[in-house]
Structure 1
Amino acid sequence: MTDQSMLKQPDADTKVPDKSLDKTTSIVSDANGNTAITREDGEVFTIDRKAERALVWKFDLRILPLLSVMYLFNALDKANLGNAATAGLLEDLGMENNTKYNILLSIFFIPYVLSAPFMAMIGKIYGPSRVLPCMMFTFGTMTLLTSAAFNWGGLVALRWFLGMAESAFFPTVIYYQTTFYRRGELARRLAIFYAASNIAYAFGGLLAFGVFQIEGGALPSWKYLFILEGALSMTFAVVAFMFLPYSAAHAKFLTEDEKKLAFHRIQIDSSAIVNEKFSLREASRILLHPTSWVILGIEICLGVPLQGVSLFLPQIVARLGYSTVQTNLHTVAPNITGAVMLLTLAFASDYTRWRFPFVALGFFWTFVGFIIYASINVLENLQVAYFACFMMTWGTSAPSVLLDVWYNNNIANENRRLLLTSIGVPIANLMGLVPSNVFRDKDAPNYIPALATTAAFGATGIVLTLSLGTWMIFDNRRRDKKQGEGGTLPTGVRGMQRLAFGGPMGYSDKPQYTAPLGPPSYETATKPVPEKKKGSVRRWLEERKDRKGSKGEEGSSASKETTPEERPPAYD
């Protein structure tokens, strides 16, 4: 277990927050992208576009590389079982029966799903910069210990704890990045981070190719693979613990002015409260929104092809008639192009400011790739079949990132954002149970039922994604018509969250808006703001009731135009 003292929040050289929020009278952007924030007391804080770009560049150099390497090892330690299975692991540990191997793959996902929300809460409470390296050190340890497994039961136990250690890694990283990057910057940064998993699968194939050349050693060659990858993971976890900043306010590589800039740019872009104190009750309200369940449905449709390619690409490629060594080598190119396609779609998504069309495009490639592979004679159409493998990796890479960015862009509340991510991502990984049980020995080498099942999930994902995206388009038009497109947004903290789930890509670039109750000051928000005692929905109902009662003979508010403050938040 991790010593709790390692996880304690670092002391901040800031004032203890009070319960008041500074008043903001206006937030105005000019044609060059510079933003002026004016407060009631006359203080003006300017967000200079050039200074902001320099700040983001610092984040890109100091944070993104560390997270990317961490995720590379996360993916390696999760997927190396497939490489080891081609080098004698099954025979050495008595798993000639493929049922045991499928159970071994499936057991990983049970603690992965059960532990993820709780591990994510720990990440929110103690800070991702402390919890992420601890997770990495733990899953590196489990990988290293896999080399000491001498039977199937021992390997099952290690896979269980590996799933627990990796459960909240990806959701916590997503949340961590949202505290540094604006919504319009997030997709391509998260894509660069996620591309590490594709590189990991490619690098894993190359690494396995090299390690499996070891002959005559004291241990079977597959054990050296686990020793090497586990030791590297543990070593880099220590490096990450030393260099990841707790938050922008605690980043030693930023000046005081840059820390204030980092705070204000995130404040006006998304969150009502930056570094908000965690509240499970408040976070759970995200599950009351129907759109959350549609998102989880899309995660399910994504998870089956994603895990199918991750776990069984070596077996799929082996159907083309390659040897064990050649099979691992031929998994490299599809994974590399998958990373390239991911980056291409992510940059295109940020540039066009759309999310769902690119998510649907990824599902389309998944569907077509698996259908082609299932419907042709791969030995007679070798090049077409191998190209279908490329389409599989293209289709499973991009939707994972863009889907997570899509709904994270649309949820202003940090706690709700973290909770939905910590449920959605593990559910997608839980879907690894499906390919683990449909890729059966009796269907080898064609695996037609497995390929058809995976394609069906891809088709369903297309339908759900296009349906949700279309609904958001019409909902945005309804909101614009009701509230006007002149640049005035609803007032108050809730008003700043009006677009909580309001668009195909989910954020507004209105050139000017006013907000009488604006973001808290930098000094107030560098520590968590005390949570309100009442939930937002109950508070809104009580306030509305009080307003009706106070109007007396003026009549019911229903007969008048509803003001922004009187509307319930879409996703407050």
Structure 2
Amino acid sequence: MAEPVLSLDSQHRQTAEDAASCIKKSADDADSRHENMAEETAHIIDPAAERALCRKFDFRLLPILAIMYLFNALDKGNLGNAQTAGLSKDLNFAPGQYNLILTAATRNFSGIFALRFFLGAVESAFFPLVIFYLTTFYRRSELARRLAIFYAASNIANAFSGLLAFGVFQIKSHLVDHPWRWLFIIEGSLTVLFSIFVFFNLPKSAAEATFLNEDEKALAYHRIHVDSSSIVNESFNLKESLQVFKRPSTYGFLLIEIALGVPLQSVSLFLPQIVQRIVKDTVRVNLYTVAPNITGAVSLLILAFSSDLLRIRFPFICLGFALTFTGFIIYAAISDPEHQIQLAYYATFMMTWGTSAPSVLLSTWYNNNVAHEGQRLALTSVGVPLANLMGLVASNVFREQDKPKYEPALITTASFGGFGFLVAACLGLYMAFDNRRRNRRQGVKLSARDVPTSRLRDGPKVDDFRWFL
């Protein structure tokens, strides 16, 4: 009988050892998983190395992109400046035809409409592709201020456009029949020349950047893998990319783009006409657009830097829409701007403050919430042109018969600003609520910064997904 007892004790000891081994293996596996997660954390591991890398990107990418956008904005802003100098009258436009084209050899409406069509076709992809391009170099919390620096070139261009137009309109030459033609000739030539420089000096990706060494390229890859993209430099797949339009949040973002488009295009295209209500002299009108555009660029930078610092987007977007709504309502409510010129002029400042920031922060917001590179590109390629398309609304509410007050246009634009505020606020509050719900369900306290984007290819379907607010 002794042998079975001994055998039983031996079996118990073996079972206990096996159990202990399994427990230890499970603990080791858990530690291994935690170590792997630590290696993939979205948090910054080496701040000094990342700052140095970002400085290289900043000095090599942003100046080129900003100058490109400056020329892009100048080319569009030329029409507004030329209009104040008599373009419609010189080309015998019928009432309302100027609004449809919103460029130096044209002699009639048909010619300038055709050129404007081709200009719009080639420039429509520029801004969305730049947004996507920068998401392949910068972390999510670094993106807004870089886009703001890039986008501020548009505001500066609008201001510079007024100064340039002021100078060009002084040219007296027999080579052209109207001074505004010089505007298109000079700025168009500069754009073409700079594009040649860009072709040879802008890298396609961090992996192909000649100004980075191998360690820096590895760090650049790691940063994007954990805090921007699920797969870095993934080949574009149209079918997969279109899956982003199955997400309800996508349509919230697109509604905000629609709401943004009308005030954004109204200020971009019609600020000189709005200012004409305050200043009657054609030449001084362009000068009076300078200060609002400059302060618009400053407000954009302040809000974008603050948004990156706090890692939150939607409250600043809402603030921009609130400023837009207020500025247009004030201007529409003034019955006699000549006796309230300071208030009227201040309202034009609020218009530029309010339209600048939401454009950058909105694009950053939805790019921050889409880890799939193809889906990010698809959404941006639809969202940004959708806002530009709303220029059709802006163009057709600023009617010739409503000048100089343009009351229907101002009220319409303000309404879109108010609508944008409501949609952005609702979407942002839903995201905050959903983040808390996910935390309660998992018994954790995570935010977007705690989850590597390498695990978020399927977006909100992933349990660990957290909205970047």
1:359 paired residue among 317, 322, 338: 317
Distance 1:518 1:295, change over 3 A: closer
Q: What secondary structure, in the 3-state scheme, does the structure 1 residue paired with 2:38 have?
A: strand
Q: How does 1:328-367 map to 2 (within 5 A)?
A: 328-367=286-325
2:36 is matched with 26
Q: What secondary structure, in the 3-state scheme, does the structure 2 residue paired with 1:28 have?
A: helix
1:402 paired residue among 361, 384, 389: 361
Cα distance in structure 2, aligned partners of 1:62 and 1:190: 14
One-letter amino acid matched to 1:176:
Y
Q: What secondary structure, in the 3-state scheme, does the structure 2 residue paired with 1:246 have?
A: coil
Cα distance in structure 1, aligned partners of 2:91 and 2:323: 37
CA contact (8 A) 1:79 1:311 kept: yes
2:194 is matched with 236
Shift, 1:319, TM fit: 0.6
Identical-pair percentage: 58
Distance 1:269 1:445, change over 3 A: same
Shift, 1:98, TM fit: 2.6
1:225 is matched with 183
Distance 1:259 1:99, change over 3 A: same
Task: Give the number of equivalent residue pairs.
Answer: 432
CA contact (8 A) 2:136 2:228 kept: no
Distance 1:94 1:235, change over 3 A: same
Does 2:385 correspond to 1:426? yes
One-letter amino acid matched to 1:278:
F
Gaps of 5+ in 1: 1-22, 36-47, 106-145, 488-506, 520-534, 541-563
CA contact (8 A) 1:286 1:292 kept: yes
Superposed CA deviations along residues 339-393 of structure 1, whole A, max 9, x for unmatched, are 0000000011111111000000000000000000000121110000000000000
Q: What secondary structure, in the 3-state scheme, does the structure 2 residue paired with 1:254 have?
A: coil
Distance 1:312 1:482, change over 3 A: same
One-letter amino acid matched to 2:432:
I
1:270 paired residue among 228, 232, 247: 228
Distance 1:426 1:514, change over 3 A: closer
2:396 is matched with 437
CA contact (8 A) 1:25 1:514 kept: no
Distance 1:486 1:389, change over 3 A: closer
CA contact (8 A) 2:155 2:294 kept: yes
1:103 is matched with 100
Distance 1:212 1:273, change over 3 A: same
One-letter amino acid matched to 1:509:
R
Distance 1:237 1:368, change over 3 A: same
2:410 paired residue among 435, 451, 455: 451
Cα distance in structure 2, aligned partners of 1:536 and 1:290: 14
Cα distance in structure 2, aligned partners of 1:286 and 1:164: 24
Cα distance in structure 2, aligned partners of 1:25 and 1:164: 49
Shift, 1:79, TM fit: 1.8
Question: Greater helix percent: which structure?
Answer: 2
Distance 1:34 1:432, change over 3 A: closer
1:391 is matched with 350
Cα distance in structure 2, aligned partners of 1:514 and 1:199: 36
Shift, 1:246, TM fit: 1.2
2:140 paired residue among 183, 201, 218: 183
One-letter amino acid matched to 2:107:
F
Please report the TM-score for the alignment, with normalisation by the length of structure 2. Answer: 0.88
Shift, 1:435, TM fit: 1.4
Cα distance in structure 1, aligned partners of 2:275 and 2:412: 18
CA contact (8 A) 2:439 2:445 kept: no
Cα distance in structure 2, aligned partners of 1:318 and 1:286: 44
Q: What secondary structure, in the 3-state scheme, does the structure 1 residue paired with 2:232 have?
A: coil
Q: What secondary structure, in the 3-state scheme, does the structure 1 residue paired with 2:411 have?
A: helix
Cα distance in structure 2, aligned partners of 1:568 and 1:29: 17
One-letter amino acid matched to 2:303:
L
Alpha carbon RMSD of aligned pairs, Å? Answer: 2.4
2:249 is matched with 291
One-letter amino acid matched to 1:253:
F
CA contact (8 A) 2:448 2:465 kept: no
One-letter amino acid matched to 1:28:
A
Distance 1:338 1:569, change over 3 A: closer
Q: Which piece of structure 1 moves more, 334-343 or 245-254?
A: 245-254
Cα distance in structure 1, aligned partners of 2:322 and 2:304: 16
One-letter amino acid matched to 1:303:
G
Shift, 1:245, TM fit: 0.6
Cα distance in structure 1, aligned partners of 2:116 and 2:154: 19
Cα distance in structure 2, aligned partners of 1:184 and 1:457: 28
Gaps of 5+ in 2: 1-32
Distance 1:50 1:325, change over 3 A: same
Shift, 1:536, TM fit: 6.5
Shift, 1:269, TM fit: 1.1
One-letter amino acid matched to 1:183:
R
Q: How does 1:64-75 map to 2 (within 5 A)?
A: 64-75=62-73
Superposed CA deviations along residues 2-46 of structure 1, whole A, max 9, x for unmatched, are xxxxxxxxxxxxxxxxxxxxx995142899x653xxxxxxxxxxx
One-letter amino acid matched to 2:374:
N
1:93 is matched with 91
Shift, 1:217, TM fit: 3.4
